[in-house]
Structure 1
Amino acid sequence: MNASRITRRTLLAGLAAAGLAPAVRAQGFRPTRPVLIVSPQQAGGSTDAILRPLAEKLADRWGQPVLVENRPGGGSIIATRAVVQAPPDGHTLGLAINSLTINPSLRQDLPYDTLRDLTPITQIGSTTVALVAHPSLGVSSFAEFIALAQSRPEPIPWASLGIGTGGHITGELLRKRAGLRLVHVPFAGSSSAYRELLPGRVQAAFVVLDSAVPHLQAGSLKLLAVADPRRNRQFPDTPSLDESFPGLAYDGIFGIVGPARMAAALVQALYADIAAVLKEPAVHAQLERQSMDVLASTPADFTAAIRREILHWRSAVQESGAQVS
């Protein structure tokens, strides 16, 4: 018996050395009931437009329904807490956006530890946040917006998709650095923000670029700048915030996390399945059309990205003086 094992081990070692070792395929996730992905954003917004098609593809792969449950509010704390409190069996996952990495610096009363109580699985991609303006504001470029917001006697009302979002902190940092007269109007997501932005009751906003594209094409909004570290491939003539104010730009995290204490094999299986779906040409192309840079990063790389973004937002919150009101 021992001789047989030694022979097999020796044979496999020899095959590996010759580059002929048999491929090892990770066992896929096999849910026994519907899988829930908890989203911190409103239903019907830009986040849903990205997440729900992905959920449908995962349902096909797993043979179980994959349901998106929208739990907005609390700067994503409500949704994140639901994931933290779930059993670590893969049947409850969460959508991680930038507020996940902002909250440790902005909120002192988090009911969980972001690094200890969650398991990063994969960063699906990076979304682009953009500064847009209503035509009634009378500006057509970022430079014109800065000049107007510096000189206008009354402050310009600008919207974000919620307290503690990347747009909120970036807007506050821009206001402070450039000496702008702005007043922040937070919303619980893009759907409610657009209800005030499109009629011009709020004249500027930081929104997810994909959600703004139809309004840009219709002339209902003007694109002023993107918050990416680089110019957006769809709108190469639009400047990045970093070109005028280095350090304002950031990568818009969009990824999947689970509760703490998930088995390593389960995490790897979930990552492998999600990455496989993201590599499907139709899915990849659809996400790119929605202004997303598709990453499908490993759990280790996503963990590193979360740690890096926590440090970025710690500095941004401190400099901007942003607060939860």
Structure 2
Amino acid sequence: MLNPITRRLAVAAAFACAAVGVSAQQAASDFPNRPIKVIVPFSAGGAVDGPMRAIAEQLGRRLGQQVIVENKPGAGATIGSESVAKAPADGYTLLLASQTNAISATLYSKLSFHPIDDFVGISLIGREPGVLVVHPSFSATSVAELIAQAKAKPKEINYASSGNGSGQHLFTAMFASMAGIELVHVPYRGSGQATTDLLAGVVHMAIPGTNAMAKHVKSGKLRALATTGTTRAKQLPDVPTLAESGFPSYSAYVWMGLLAPKGTPQPIVDKLHREVKAVLATPEVQGYLNDAGIEMVGSTPAEMNSYFREERDRWARIVRETGARVD
């Protein structure tokens, strides 16, 4: 049996835990009572920026408070991510993360925050495959022909990306590693200028998100050689996957997930998850994501946490194997 002192301490601890629980529940019931800010650590108009704005509009209606989307691009998504990691853990400052965040966890070794551990998941919202595209002036019409040309002329074929450490960078680096070829990386400050130069033939190839490239492929301004998902992209059903093109283990997605700073009360995380899940079921958001070629997921917070870490481990292996680095 417990002695009187131990018993009193145990009772006090139980009351303290109960008080914390009541406080967290109360915070969730009052949440939100002011606008919420979602930091998108990428340029406006990018693959995940538009979808987040559509979601934010509907989320604000459900929560009864404005949900503001703010772009803070740069340094492999680490600038915007750092601002959220250091924000109060109260649910009013959130982060829209993507595969770039998982990649940066390995590429950037000297950060003032932890790209994974300083966040808690709310939901994996959706994902989109990439597409390997080349300028029409480039003679390769298949993945096999591209590889043959790259092997015949090492380091003469270049590829654009939206920046060092971006998904476009690592998607192509992984392909080059699997194919045993050497390509020259040309990083840009965002996807806009990278696409402009790709369309102009300044660079030979790239692996951006499928949806943004589909119209250029259909118009003949670019040639699609393969997509990066496990199944063919619905926007380009006649284009084979890289898995079908000789690389059965290759798969890579542009994904978007909502995170909160570590320490955010679980009741607030759960409330945000419920509301995001409800928003993803609205016709407005479903229509937007469908038109954008995004496969809707809507995971639980625990599933988002697991997925984020799995992506970190996966891309860490690719970074080590390819020797990819931030120049």
TM-score in same-fold range (> 0.5): yes
Q: CA deviation at 1:246?
A: 3.7
1:310 aligns with 2:326: no
Residue identity matched to 2:191: S
Residue equivalent to 1:250? 252
1:205 aligns with 2:206: yes
Task: Measure the CA separation in 2 of the matches of 1:146 and 1:29.
Answer: 58
Structure 1 stretch displaced more, 284-293 or 165-174: 165-174
Residue equivalent to 2:159? 158
1:277 aligns with 2:279: yes
RMSD between superposed Cα atoms in Å: 1.8
Relative distance call for 1:29 and 1:174 in structure 2 (3 A) is farther
Relative distance call for 1:44 and 1:115 in structure 2 (3 A) is closer
Residue identity matched to 2:320: Q
Task: Measure the CA separation in 2 of the matches of 1:192 and 1:32.
Answer: 40
Residue equivalent to 1:235? 236
Secondary structure at 2:293's aligned position in 1? coil
1:222 aligns with 2:223: yes
Residue identity matched to 1:74: A
Task: Measure the CA separation in 1 of the matches of 2:179 and 2:33.
Answer: 54
Relative distance call for 1:28 and 1:235 in structure 2 (3 A) is farther
Task: Measure the CA separation in 1 of the matches of 2:261 and 2:269.
Answer: 10
Task: Measure the CA separation in 2 of the matches of 1:300 and 1:154.
Answer: 43
Residue equivalent to 1:17? none
1:49 aligns with 2:60: no
Residue equivalent to 2:300? 298
Q: CA deviation at 1:109?
A: 1.1
Task: Measure the CA separation in 2 of the matches of 1:284 and 1:146.
Answer: 38
Secondary structure at 1:167's aligned position in 2? helix
Q: CA deviation at 1:33?
A: 2.2
Secondary structure at 1:225's aligned position in 2? strand
Residue equivalent to 1:12? none
Task: Measure the CA separation in 2 of the matches of 1:102 and 1:153.
Answer: 26
Question: CA-to-partner distance for each residue in 1:129-185, whole Å, 9 max, x for gaps?
Answer: 111111111233222222222223661121112211222122122223323242101
Task: Measure the CA separation in 2 of the matches of 1:268 and 1:28.
Answer: 11
Task: Measure the CA separation in 1 of the matches of 2:217 and 2:30.
Answer: 41
Secondary structure at 1:235's aligned position in 2? coil
Residue pairs, 1:184-199, within 5 angstroms: 184-199=185-200
Q: CA deviation at 1:303?
A: 0.8
Task: Measure the CA separation in 2 of the matches of 1:220 and 1:34.
Answer: 42
Which of structure 1's runs of 4+ aligned residues deviate more than 4 A?
Answer: none
Q: Is the 8 A contact 2:94 2:260 kept in 1?
A: yes
TM-score, structure 1 normalization:
0.86
Relative distance call for 1:137 and 1:238 in structure 2 (3 A) is same
Task: Measure the CA separation in 1 of the matches of 2:156 and 2:290.
Answer: 36
Relative distance call for 1:288 and 1:242 in structure 2 (3 A) is same
Q: CA deviation at 1:70?
A: 0.9
Secondary structure at 1:124's aligned position in 2? strand
Residue equivalent to 1:19? none
Relative distance call for 1:158 and 1:264 in structure 2 (3 A) is same
Residue equivalent to 2:20? none
Q: Is the 8 A contact 1:229 1:251 kept in 2?
A: no
Q: Is the 8 A contact 1:158 1:185 kept in 2?
A: yes
Percent of aligned pairs sharing the same letter: 36
Task: Measure the CA separation in 1 of the matches of 2:250 and 2:325.
Answer: 17
Secondary structure at 1:213's aligned position in 2? helix
Residues paired across the two proteins, number: 299
Residue identity matched to 2:61: D
